[in-house]
């Protein structure tokens, strides 16, 4: 469950969104003040527009079989769309991302210190 209260108005009763699982993380959209994401223990990500009268999610993504422990926005990419994400079958630590404007980005995830420290010994 998520409860939002306006701290500037003590009489505000708040808004409550029910979820079927424990909330792991919350992120406000830095480009749209009325939109937030919740990542949940059941592996889903739910998007909410706080202006919606029925308080139901705008969308739900079934992201994982286990919990989605963190979620965030890229503050430098307003409305930046990602259309496809895939790990390489030949090099499992390469991640290809198809993005807006026909851009293809390839990221060696082992270049991230934490990933390298945890999985670097598993290099093919």
Q: In sequence order, what DSSP letters do the residues of 37-53 get, joined into one string?
A: EEEETTSEEEEEETT-T
Cα distance between residue 120 and residue 44, in whole Å: 28
Q: Is there a single domain that holds both residue 72 and residue 84? A: no
The answer to whether residues 98 and 82 touch, using CB atoms and an 8 Å cutoff, is yes
pLDDT tens for the 124 residues of the chain, in order? 667 777 787 787 777 777 889 999 888 888 888 888 898 999 999 999 988 878 889 889 887 788 888 887 766 665 566 666 778 888 888 888 776 677 788 888 888 888 888 887 776 6
Q: Is there a single domain that holds both residue 16 and residue 61? A: yes
Q: Is there a single domain that holds both residue 37 and residue 64? A: yes
Q: Is there a single domain that holds both residue 104 and residue 50? A: no
The answer to whether residues 124 and 91 touch, using CB atoms and an 8 Å cutoff, is yes
Provide the domain limits for residue 96.
Answer: 80-124
Q: Is there a single domain that holds both residue 90 and residue 66? A: no
Count up the domains in the chain and report the number.
2
Q: Is there a single domain that holds both residue 69 and residue 84? A: no
Name, in order, each residue with C-beta under 8 angstroms of 64's C-beta and a sequence gap of 6 or more: 43
Cα distance between residue 90 and residue 93, in whole Å: 9
Q: Is there a single domain that holds both residue 89 and residue 40? A: no
């Amino acid at each position: 469950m998520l409860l939002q209260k306006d701290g500037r108005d003590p009489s505000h009763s708040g808004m409550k969104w029910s979820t079927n699982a424990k909330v792991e993380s919350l992120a406000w959209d830095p480009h749209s003040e009325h939109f937030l994401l919740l990542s949940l223990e059941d592996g889903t990500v739910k998007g909410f527009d706080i202006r919606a009268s029925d308080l139901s999610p705008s969308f739900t993504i079934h992201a994982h079989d286990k919990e989605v422990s963190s979620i965030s926005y890229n503050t430098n990419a307003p409305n930046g769309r990602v259309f496809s994400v895939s790990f390489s079958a030949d090099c499992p630590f390469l991640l290809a991302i198809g993005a807006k404007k026909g851009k293809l980005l390839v990221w060696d995830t082992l270049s991230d210190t934490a990933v390298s420290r945890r999985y670097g010994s598993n290099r093919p």
